[in-house]
A = this chain, B = another copy of it.
Amino acid sequence: MSRLTRFVPILDWGRAYSRRDLPGDLMAGSITAIMLVPQAMAYAMLAGLPPEVGLYASIAPPILYGIFGSSRALAVGPVAIASLMTATALSALSPAGSPDYIANALVLSLLIGLMLLGLGIARAGFLVNFLSHPVIAGFTSAASILIVISQLKHLLGIDIPRGESVATLVNLARGLSGANGVTLAISACSLVILLAMRAPLTALLQRLRLSPFTVQLLTRSSPLLVVILSVVVTSAWRLDESAGVAIVGAIPSGLPSFTVPSLDLGIWQALLPSAALIAFVSYLESVSVAKALAARKRQKVDADQELIGLGAANLAAAFTGASPVAGGFARSMVNFAAGANTPLASILTALLLAISVMFFTPFFHYLPQAVLAATIVVAVVALIDGASFVRTWHYNKADFAAQAGTFMVVLGIGVEAGIMTGIVLSLTLYLWRSSRPHFAIVGQVDNSEHYRNVKRHHVRTDPAILLFRIDENLYFPNAGYLEEHLRAEVAANPEVRHVVLICSSVSLIDASALETLTELRDTLRAADVTLHLAEVKGPVMDRLQATDFTRDLAPGRIFLSTHDAVRTLRERLYADSYAADI
């Protein structure tokens, strides 16, 4: 693969495009478009932006991603959690829906695009690994709950100011008596149809032996069906005027025009931290989906190329009046399941969206906001995963602490604080754990050359030889801990003449630990105990040999294996006792 092809994957798949791929791409492109039209408007509403901003985010960005992205099936466009984070970031600067608010959305897209592109060029895709799965799970569940809370006012038809979750709930409870009955009815019908057209309809259609494609098409068009029904009903009875149902209102027709984001450095600075977190979360969501889908077809996703693809998509958003974009989880799954073979499917979706904004926007005028809220709620409720908390609790308490901490901070303080808390908490808990490492006194298993923990296995030991296995790298936070416990073991076993430190788990001995080992060697020697090492790995040995430590270890030795050490030391001990007998 040439250098250019590597950075512009379309040159790769485009050149190799086969006619056999076309039917799948056409179907996937159409189904995804049907799903995307209401979703795009809904996520724009969630972000506090006019509906057309979400539609624009579904045109140029997926085309750019199709050119530069490495995933074959990722469907790029507005997504739920990034929209929530966009709302949080923008509403800190100006009121939702104001001209400044909309202008700042472009700056956010630009910053996210530049950052992703920069990280891609620096090949820093690995950074995403510092978000642990439990933190992601806690974050996603909590963010989904926040999204549901934010949509309740639309579902109930109550007008309350945007605010943090507890305040919103209090305001909702206070304003409950003023809920709009007709809006509530529309919401209820929408939710029932949307939910019924998922699992129940799928099961029914499968029993009717319809083709999988037809099943997909019918079940996935539920949002569009609800949109059409509600628009017909609302416009027929003019429910906006007669019953006060909040509607989407006028959406400008035509393709997005070229926009230039503001270059005001003050605004850039104010949005930078949020942009970094949105970029991080968007990238994470996209690359996880992309990897999962690629694995099913034995294709490969290049984590660094994904940064470039998503960066290009967000830059496209910035210059076409659109909000930040990412690869959506549910939408990409639909795209994949509907048969997408190449990014051409995404490009087709974008073209269908472009046709929508050119010709069909007047139709959406009477669309109730409650219907959009219902599609959002149904989409994100699936992301609230209570069972994962139970699983994590049973497996690992530290992971659970990180997950629960992230969950609670997202709910109690906010999404940005939550994700930072999650990262810091999970790393701190790991460091804390590795500062108090597990260690074991080991002995010989039967007559094998294998040595295991005396507390867990039936093993042979020698009172004069202490086999001490340390189960962690030796570095500054745990060097003192090792020293303390090793000394305690020696003190508790006065017959010990040789200590063998088994380093099978040690991939690093840092400068602090080396000093500690040096002290340990010298103080043990003063007590007539010899320190030896065993199973020192190659890279660790290379470093040790460059120091005085190994030279001054004598009569202590570094043994290849624990068994070698025991054999040699037993011989030495027996020789000593023979000498004493003579």
Contact = CB atoms under 8 A, between A and B. Distances in A.
A435 interface: yes
Interface stretch (A79-87, A222-230, A473-481): A473-481
B476 A426 contact: yes
A175 interface: no
Interface in A103-143: 126, 129-134
Interface in A415-430: 426-427, 430
A438 B398 contact: no
Given A394-B546, A449-B448, A508-B433, A476 B129 contact: yes
Contacts of A456: 538
Contact of A538 (B131, B398, B453): B453
Given A395-B511, A543-B395, A543-B396, A476 B438 contact: no
Interface string A392-436: 101110110000000000000000000000000011001101111
Contacts of A240: none
User: Which of A430, A437, A543 has the most CB atoms of chain B within a 10 A radius of its CB?
Assistant: A430
Contacts of A452: 538, 560
A239 interface: no
Interface in A128-160: 129-134
A265 B177 CA distance: 46
Given A295-B519, A476-B131, A392 B433 contact: no
Contacts of A427: 431
Given A129-B479, A448-B449, A476-B129, A471 B510 contact: no
A392 B511 contact: yes
A450 B126 contact: no
A539 B133 contact: no
A445 interface: yes
A257 interface: no
Given A450-B449, A523-B295, A434 B394 contact: no
Given A395-B547, A438-B537, A547-B395, A481 B129 contact: yes
A348 B477 CA distance: 37
Contacts of A361: none
Contacts of A129: 435, 476-481
B511 A480 contact: no
Oligomeric state, in number of copies? Answer: 2
A392 B563 CA distance: 33
B511 A133 contact: yes
User: How extensive is the interface on chain A, given as a class?
Assistant: 35 or more
A507 interface: yes
A431 B507 CA distance: 13
B510 A132 contact: yes
Interface string A533-555: 00001110001001100000000
B476 A561 contact: no
B539 A438 contact: yes
A438 B538 CA distance: 10
By CB atoms of chain B within 10 A, which of A129, A131, A563 has the most?
A129
Interface of A: 126, 129-134, 295, 391-392, 394-396, 398-399, 426-427, 430-431, 433-438, 440, 445, 448-450, 452-453, 455-456, 471-473, 475-481, 504-508, 510-512, 514-515, 519, 523, 537-539, 543, 546-547, 560-561, 563
List the 9 closest pairs (A to B, CB-CB), nearest first.
A132-B476, A471-B507, A133-B512, A449-B449, A399-B511, A504-B504, A450-B561, A505-B505, A456-B538
Given A129-B478, A130-B477, 19 more contacts: A126-B480, A129-B479, A130-B431, A132-B512, A133-B511, A133-B512, A295-B523, A395-B547, A399-B510, A426-B476, A430-B431, A434-B473, A437-B507, A449-B449, A450-B560, A452-B560, A471-B539, A472-B507, A505-B507
13 contacts: A126-B435, A129-B480, A130-B476, A130-B477, A132-B475, A396-B543, A430-B475, A433-B508, A434-B473, A452-B560, A453-B537, A504-B504, A505-B507
